Amino acid sequence: MKKFKRMSDKVILHPMMTFILLTAFVIVLSGILDLFGASVTYTSINSRTGNFTSTLITVDSLLSLSGIKYVFSTTVRNFADFAPLSTLLITLIGLGIMDRSGFLDTLFFVLTKKLNKTFVTFILVLLCLIFSITGDLTFVIFIPLSALLFKYGKRNPMAGIVTSFASLSLGYGINIGMSSIDSTLTNMTEIAASTITKNYSINTHCYIWIMLAALIFASIIITYITERITVPKLGKYQDEEEIVEDKEKLTRKEKRGLLFAAIGCILYIIFFIWNIIPNVPLGGNLLNYREARYIDMLFGDNSFFADGYVFVITFLFFIAGFLYGLGSKNIENHRDVADYLGHSLDEIGKVIMLLFFGSLFISLLRYSKIGDLLTGLLTNGISNIGVGGIPLLVIVFVISLITTPLLPSFAARWNILSSSVVPLMMTAGFSPEFAQLTFSSASSIGYALTPAMAYFVIYVAYMEKYGKKDVGTVKCIRLIHPYAISIAIVWLALLLLWYLVGLPLGISTASVL
């Protein structure tokens, strides 16, 4: 066993090959399951009508004629529509001018010169956990920035990548306010709860107390794991081309550049903040008032920020880098601007290659419905389990976790699970909010560990960029294990504490009925 482990440590499979093998596995498995007629019928919620419907799931074989047609006819379109591709490319344009103009070097020097490294890590973790409320787009912003933060702080940028990815993915279960995903899950929970209590309603501050506790514990634990486990394991960054020169103090040009950038960014941010505050004079213009909840007004379907959030952030990065370059004289003409905008896109070919194979694997897994089948089978199993109290809580937590790797979408899985889990837990004395929280907290653990999560590809791609030949997909997942296990323990402890003591989950929200 030890000999096999030593061999596996020496032979590091390139992430591209990992996705190719995973794709081949899905193709073969779908064919086998289809051959044996694997299927399941379960009760799901129709999100449009709010009614329960009986749904039959059968695996779509990728070895069949229709499956082969799907592979060849949709691969290019699926890659072009792959969200991480477009969001990453657009974001990198803004990051390029911020980095090349010297803005990030100067900014991180100011932020870190008098701060303890552990405290800098804690702030990064806290920001990632808080901003995870905005959804998947934060991965393409924080992962590159975290790498640069650690690089300019004379630390291994891979440690920054691991920390930000772990915080963002695990942060999906830790939202002080209600995220757009929470809003979607809440609609399903209310429908499922109505089978026990008619017209059940969930308020937007239903989790604030337990989330505050989770946020504090998670921030401390993730920071501790980074400093005590991840940083020592990854070691020093050895790439000579990436060495950052020591700086003692800011020059007059750098101070002027920061002043220009600060004024421009503050005005830009004030403009957008004013326009996302409802019911203020001349404000709130960027909200979708057809939605009931504020988070849906801001990030719901067809809202301004849902469609334009990436460019809003990219343009903020452009303003910061451009104005800093003008003030510091690092930008002298329009050719400098053009060169700097494309700086982060240099040598991006390997990242795009990984995104292609990642998009292929994810699209074929989704088409096969293997994840839906597993979730449906476990849903039917839990309906007949006949236990309550703590055993039921733990079982729902475990099922929510183990179904995530094959079906990462929170909404798709809760659409299958909620119709059984919510009434079952309500009958056992849990509130509907507690049932949803058990699902979302466990799902965030699995979300951090699955290659089927679209933005996992971004994580692996940046680890490959900075780690060169020493990084593989298996190693990337292993580095997340300590974070996932620790946060899983924290969540189980919090859930058990809130249930046993009967503490309120949030404002006017009980943990038990």
With contact defined as beta carbons under 8 Å apart, do 362 and 341 qualify? no
Question: pTM value?
Answer: 0.89
CA 126 to chain centre: 14
Please give the C-alpha separations between residue 326 and each of 100, 264, 318, 341, 464, in angstroms, as whole numbers.
13, 12, 12, 14, 34
> Which residues have C-beta within 8 Å of that of residue 214, sequence separation ≥ 6?
173, 174, 441, 490, 491, 494
* Residue 7: predicted pLDDT: 44
CA neighbours closer than 13 Å in the CB half-sphere of residue 408: 21
In this structure, are strands 39-45 and 52-58 parallel, antiparallel, or unpaired?
antiparallel
pLDDT of residue 3 exceeding 60, the answer is no
User: Into how many domains does the chain fold?
Assistant: 1
Domain range for 456:
15-501
Q: Which residues contact 204 (CB under 8 A, 6 or more apart)?
A: 177, 178, 293, 294, 295
pLDDT value at 370 more than 90: yes
Token match 């709860």: residue?
193
Q: What is the predicted pLDDT for the residue at 42?
A: 82
- In the DSSP assignment, the letter for residue 246 is P
Read off the pLDDT of residues 107-148 as tens digits, 9 standing for 90 and up. Answer: 888 887 778 889 999 999 999 999 888 777 889 889 989 998
1 — pLDDT class (breaks 50, 70, 90): very low
Please, which pLDDT band fits residue 10 given cuts at 50, 70 and 90? low
φ/ψ (deg, to 5) at 52: -90, 135
Let me know if residue 512 belongs to a domain: no
Question: What is the structure's pLDDT at 226?
Answer: 96
How far apart CA 488 and CA 422 sit, in angstroms, is 21
Residue found by looking up tokens 């929280």 in the block: 437
Question: Residue range 322-329: average pLDDT?
Answer: 91
Query: How far is 178 from 191, CA to CA, in rounded Å?
Result: 18
Whether 100 maps to a domain, the answer reads yes
Q: Is residue 3 part of a domain?
A: no
Please indicate, yes or no, if residue 355 is contained in any of the structural domains: yes
Residues linked to residue 512 through DSSP beta bridges, in sequence order: 430
Q: What percent of the chain has pLDDT over 90?
A: 46
pLDDT above 60: residue 279? yes
How far, CA to CA in Å, does 164 sit from each of 226, 242, 350, 441, 446?
Answer: 10, 20, 21, 18, 16
Q: What is the pLDDT of residues 432-461, one digit of tens each?
A: 999 999 999 999 999 999 999 989 999 998
Residue 412 pLDDT exceeds 50: yes
Query: Is 247 part of any domain?
Result: yes
Give the model's pLDDT for residue 494: 95
- For residue 437, give both structure tokens: 């929280």
What number is the average pLDDT over the span 390-415? 93
Would you call 425 exposed, middle or buried from its count of C-beta atoms within 10 A (0-12, 13-18, 19+)? Answer: buried
Average pLDDT over residues 369-391: 88
Q: How far apart are CA 230 and CA 309, in angstroms?
A: 32
Q: pLDDT value at position 65?
A: 94
User: How many other CB atoms are there within 10 angstroms of residue 433's CB atom?
Assistant: 24
CA separation for the pair 367, 58 (Å, rounded): 11
Taking all residues of the chain, what is their mean pLDDT, rounded to a whole number? 86
CB 135 within 8 A of CB 181: yes
Per-residue confidence band for 4, with pLDDT thresholds at 50, 70 and 90: very low
- DSSP type of residue 7: H
pLDDT digits (tens, 9 = 90+) for 244-274: 556 667 888 888 999 999 999 999 999 888 8
Lowest mean pLDDT of 279-293, 357-371, 422-436, 452-466, name the range.
279-293
Task: Look at residue 198 and tell me whether its pLDDT is greater than 80.
Answer: yes
CB under 8 Å to 296, separation ≥6 — which residues?
Answer: 180, 183, 288, 303
Amino acid at 327: G
Q: What is the separation of C-alpha 509 from the centre of its chain, rounded to a whole number of angstroms?
A: 27
